Amino acid sequence: MSNFLKNKNLNYEKAQSLINNTLVDCDDGELYLEDTKSESILLDDNKIKSSSFKRDTGYGLRGVTEDKVAYSHSNDISEKSLEMSCDNIKSTLKHSKGKYNHSINKTNQKFYDELDPIENKSLETKIELLKEINQYARSKDESVKQVTANFLGEHKNIEILRPGGELFTDSRPLVRINVSILVEKNGRKETAMYGVGGRQSYDNYLKNDDWKKICDEAFRMAYTNLESKPSPAGEMKVVLGPGWPAILIHEAVGHGLEGDFNRKKTSVFHDLVGKKVASDGVTIIDDGTIDKRRGSLNIDDEGTPTEKTVLIENGILKNFMQDRMNARLMKTNSTGNGRRESYKHVIMPRMRNTIMLNGNNTQEEMIKSVDKGIFAVSFGGGQVDITSGKFVFNCTEAYEIVNGKIGSPLKGATLIGDGPSSLKQVLMVGNDMKLDPGIGTCGKAGQGVPVGVGQPSMLIDNMTVGGTQL
Amino acid sequence: MLKEDDHLKKLAENFSTNLKKSGASESSVLISNSISESVNIRNKKLDGSTRSDSLNVVLTAYVGKKKSSISSSNLDESHINELIKKCVETAKITPEDELNSLPDSELYFKGAKNLDLYDETFIENSKKIDFIKEAEEQAFKKKEIVNTNGSGFSQNKSNFVLANSNGFIDGYKSSNFSAYCEVVAKSNGSMERDYEYSSKRFFKDLLEPKEIGKKASELAISKLKPRKIKSKKMKVVFDKRIAKNFLSSFASAINSSTIAKGTTFLKNRLNTQIFNNKINIIDKPDIIKGSGSRYFDIEGTSVNKLNLVENGVLKNYLIDTYNGKKINMKSNGRASGTTNLYFENGNEDYKNLINSDKEIVYINETFGRGANIITGDYSVGASGFMVENGEFVYPISEITIAGNLNDIFSKMILGNDLEFNYSTNSPSILIDDLTIGGI
């Protein structure tokens, strides 16, 4: 029985009969109900700049037949509104007839607790802590000129109703704490951001003065960049640090292995299953089951239990990431990657926590082996062109490597590479796998979803660095 | 059906009254309603349709100089009353900020609304499908086009009302129709995609579907078999569709919030030379049917034409109420950002730009973050064409372009081919001596 329809102008039986009736001739589809609370408390320029709270409730009704998707959503959870959506779905799909597929495994797996992180910590204590963060960060050094700190909390409850009375629910906490610091010295300004987060209460990231480490890290990066010199331009060897730099994996191969692009044959990887796409020793998984991680889910947004999906094993392409529709059309099973930003958005295959597993090398060996190259430790965002395979990402902390030694910090530069060939150029895989701190959001077709990445240190033979120095 | 002004105004007035009753000394209420319908096709066949209907309210309560805001998509009266109480309570425990306030009374919009921002035309889904199918059919006439990434048509209609405790209450409807076509070209193992789109307030102003399909196919085919080039410093011409990104970076750098915090490379540059003395940058909110046109900003402040740059000299910032107070300047109605932002046409013919050196690089796609607004450092991934003696000789990709915006702004030369296709528009731009990262 659905909790969502209490106190609404729509009862459960009516909702069931409407969706039974609408989806009977479809291959798949569901009524997705969502109730999300979110808050943002922002300290900026020595002041609490905003404290805002948002409550978003609504539904999305989806009908899928063959390769067609009809979607209708509204924040008005009422009989009248749902009837209108049903008509809309039927009119789009009127020329096709499907056979409804009921199979979704039920699961009891839980990777996070049912808790409301917003209510879990009072607004007063959050405000006090932001002030403390501001003071601490400003006291670190006289070069600190600006501090911005932000608490972002979310509690998303979803219900998925399918014809025949199937019901799936999930309750998802998510928090993120960001600190960004601007330093100025001798007329130069630099800024850096560091943050942590995941699917548990704020206090798990703040206890034992752990919040100081967030400030320390943001300060360290910004201060380091005050000494940065212009980056070189052109092809060179690149050593990536562990953790967050796995955004390279996310961009270089992750998106290209999402089922929709491969079903449509617009990804460079679409005909490469079973083929070698990366160096020996490169194994990449997409894992929705890691405890309390930002990209983890008990079930995906279609109700499929998440799993650990092997994408590339020892250099060989094994699997794509699938939602139900693309899996059906490609005659395989959903891998639990069907996700959506909210009830306002359609389902697409999306990444969860995308991770490169450990190899045998050490970071020290990698750096020693490079005569001229760069050592990239932290990144801003990245982007990929799925069809040509070209991807970019922006270094926010990088150093030159000269004759096997780490040298000066370098100004932020864009790195560009080619997805299918870059992982074949991996010369060494480290033994120091780390997950990112839990702040990643992936954008695709206008939808943002929380994701994670992870990798050990890695040496890549040849990437183009977008600096200014020739 | 889109909710009418009267209905939204009534709701806004109710909520305002309740905010006052609950202890807010000042308040503002923004209620927005939008209905959008879109269809997507792929390989000339229907891929899907989406209908969205949303009604949302943002409540802001001031208690003296304390402030908080709440937004909700659930407008049930009992739920909203609960949120109003929570909003006021939250405001009370939020620290005071002496700069918090509604805009000054004399700045509110009072004029006539005659910019033609709303087209009542309703396009049935079947007609949307026909429109965008025609675009793909045109694209597929080229043999290299083997696939599509999807093409779509969408119709968006919205209405909103903003009310605040200074007595301001107003809103208006607007519409947007857009069509895009993204195709994949393939030849001898090389696969490339490109797109064309059109977005207008009025349906009848959209580009012809055939033109959209033709342009998308030509662009995708022209990118096939790209080469990488050697790293070197060169003249670069930026195609109009990406040249406008320099204006977006410029707008971020002169936003009063970045100016007030000092987080911009253009701090303290008002009334100084930023561009060459032939360059003018204008933000004009009152273009009839303009994509970026508006009567007032999100705070109710009226918006007027701003000459941001005159003869290369920075003349104005983009200012909202709060940050304006911080830098002792009045809001110029830019709390919602720029409106129709553009470079005035330059003098150079497009042909002269691409023929300005024996070899130049022509860029029509960039990706990555681009500019660091604090330092002005600029670095992007790019693709485009090698141009020799004014002739396009081959496509190039997987290169980077880097420089610093201070330097880029001071030496950019504008073409004379400005068109108003988007809300931000630029003619083609030539920039000398940019670092290309390649082989």
Q: Would the pLDDT of B278 be above 70?
A: yes
A271 assigned to some structural domain: yes
Domains held by chain B: number:
2
Q: Chain B partners of A344 at a C-beta cutoff of 8 Å?
A: 52, 54
Report the pLDDT value the prediction gives residue B75, as an integer from 0 to 100. 87
Is-contact A415 A393, C-beta < 8 A?
A: yes
Statement to judge: residues B293 and B358 lie in one domain = yes
Look at B56 and A393 and tell me if their CB atoms are within 8 Å. Answer: no
d(CA B294, CA B1) in angstroms, rounded, equals 23
Statement to judge: residues B214 and B288 lie in one domain = no
Q: How close, in Å, is residue B46 to chain A by CA atoms?
A: 7
Q: Kindly state the average pLDDT of the residues B278-299.
A: 96
Statement to judge: residues B204 and B289 lie in one domain = no
Which residues lie closer than 8 Å to B206 by C-beta, 6 or more apart? B177, B178, B179, B198, B199, B200
Q: Chain A partners of B98 at a C-beta cutoff of 8 Å?
A: none
Look at B46 and A123 and tell me if their CB atoms are within 8 Å. Answer: no
% of chain B at pLDDT higher than 90: 90
CATH number for the domain harbouring residue B56: 3.30.2290.10
Most confident of A3-7, B47-51, B412-416, B419-423: B412-416
Query: At residue A260, what are phi and psi to the nearest 5 degrees?
Result: -60, -45
Look at A231 and B379 and tell me if their CB atoms are within 8 Å. Answer: yes
Statement to judge: residues B91 and B193 lie in one domain = yes
- Kindly provide the ipTM of the predicted complex, given to two decimals: 0.86
Look at A466 and B381 and tell me if their CB atoms are within 8 Å. Answer: yes
Q: For an interface test with B, give the residue of A22, A39, A53, A138 to mutate (most B CBs within 10 A).
A: A53
Statement to judge: residues B168 and B194 lie in one domain = yes
Last residue of a domain, one of B192, B222, B252: B222
Closest chain A residue to the Cα of B260, Cα to Cα: A45
Sequential DSSP letters for B283-351: E-TT-TT-TT--SB-TTSBB---EEEEETTEE---B--HHHHHHTT----S-TT--SSEEEPP-SB-HH
Closest chain A residue to the Cα of B233, Cα to Cα: A470
d(CA B265, CA B263) in angstroms, rounded, equals 7
Statement to judge: residues B214 and B273 lie in one domain = no
pLDDT band for B248, please (50, 70, 90 cuts): very high
Statement to judge: residues B98 and B201 lie in one domain = yes
A101 assigned to some structural domain: no
Statement to judge: residues B191 and B236 lie in one domain = no
Mean pLDDT score across all residues of chain B:
94
Look at B439 and A234 and tell me if their CB atoms are within 8 Å. Answer: yes
Last residue of a domain, one of B206, B222, B238: B222
In 3D space, the residue among A209, A207, A219 whose CA is nearest the CA of residue A180 turns out to be A219
Statement to judge: residues B155 and B266 lie in one domain = no
Q: How close, in Å, is residue B244 to chain A by CA atoms?
A: 19
Helix residue ranges, H only, B102-227: 125-139, 209-222
User: Measured at the alpha carbon of residue A113, what is the angle toward residues A109 and A114, in degrees to the nearest 5?
Assistant: 105
Look at A51 and B68 and tell me if their CB atoms are within 8 Å. Answer: yes
Partnered with residue B232 across adjacent β-strands are B436
Statement to judge: residues B246 and B382 lie in one domain = yes
Last residue of a domain, one of B199, B222, B245: B222
Look at B90 and A51 and tell me if their CB atoms are within 8 Å. Answer: yes
| Under-50 pLDDT residues of chain A | 1
Tell me if residue A464 falls in helix, strand or coil: strand
Q: What is the DSSP letter of A430?
A: B
Look up residue A431 and give its two tokens: 């033994």
In 3D space, the residue among A365, A45, A380 whose CA is nearest the CA of residue B95 turns out to be A45
Look up residue B161 and give its two tokens: 């009302």
Report the pLDDT value the prediction gives residue A343, as an integer from 0 to 100. 96
Q: Chain B partners of A266 at a C-beta cutoff of 8 Å?
A: 147, 149, 184, 191, 193
Provide the residue range defining the domain that includes A284: 233-466
Look at A382 and B377 and tell me if their CB atoms are within 8 Å. Answer: no
Look at A48 and B95 and tell me if their CB atoms are within 8 Å. Answer: yes
d(CA B322, CA B1) in angstroms, rounded, equals 36
Domains held by chain A: number:
1
Tell me if residue B437 falls in helix, strand or coil: strand
Look at A189 and B375 and tell me if their CB atoms are within 8 Å. Answer: yes
Provide the residue range defining the domain that includes B360: 226-439
B113-158 pLDDT, tens digit per residue, is 999 999 999 999 899 999 999 999 999 999 999 999 899 999 999 9
Report the pLDDT value the prediction gives residue A266, as an integer from 0 to 100. 86
% of chain B at pLDDT higher than 70: 100
Q: Chain A partners of B70 at a C-beta cutoff of 8 Å?
A: 52-55
Q: How close, in Å, is residue A69 to chain B by CA atoms?
A: 4
User: Would you tell me how many other CB atoms lie within 10 Å of the CB of residue A433?
Assistant: 18
Look at B125 and A67 and tell me if their CB atoms are within 8 Å. Answer: no
Q: For an interface test with A, give the residue of B2, B11, B40, B46 to mutate (most A CBs within 10 A).
A: B46
A428 assigned to some structural domain: yes
Look at B193 and A388 and tell me if their CB atoms are within 8 Å. Answer: yes
Of B39, B70, B368, Cβ closest to residue A392? B368
Q: For an interface test with A, give the residue of B51, B194, B322 to mutate (most A CBs within 10 A).
A: B51
Q: For an interface test with A, give the residue of B84, B231, B321, B408 to mutate (most A CBs within 10 A).
A: B231
Look at B72 and A56 and tell me if their CB atoms are within 8 Å. Answer: yes
Partnered with residue A466 across adjacent β-strands are A233, A414
Statement to judge: residues B128 and B268 lie in one domain = no
Statement to judge: residues B77 and B11 lie in one domain = yes
B49-105 pLDDT, tens digit per residue, is 999 999 999 999 999 999 999 999 988 888 899 899 999 999 998 889 999 999 998
The predicted model scores a pTM of 0.91
Q: How close, in Å, is residue A429 to chain B by CA atoms?
A: 24
Q: How close, in Å, is residue B151 to chain A by CA atoms?
A: 12
A235-267 pLDDT, tens digit per residue, is 999 999 999 999 989 988 899 999 999 999 988
Closest chain A residue to the Cα of B372, Cα to Cα: A412
Look at A68 and B372 and tell me if their CB atoms are within 8 Å. Answer: no
Closest chain A residue to the Cα of B37, Cα to Cα: A72
Residue with the bigger pLDDT between A8 and B302: it is: B302
Report the pLDDT value the prediction gives residue A2, as an integer from 0 to 100. 56
Tell me if residue A367 falls in helix, strand or coil: helix
Look up residue B137 and give its two tokens: 């059919």
Q: For an interface test with B, give the residue of A41, A55, A469 to mutate (most B CBs within 10 A).
A: A55
Look at A414 and B261 and tell me if their CB atoms are within 8 Å. Answer: no
User: Measured at the alpha carbon of residue A216, what is the angle toward residues A211 and A220, in degrees to the nearest 5?
Assistant: 155
Q: Chain B partners of A67 at a C-beta cutoff of 8 Å?
A: 42, 45, 47
Q: C-alpha distances in angstroms, A171 versus A33, A156, A157?
A: 12, 6, 4
Q: Would the pLDDT of B409 be above 50?
A: yes
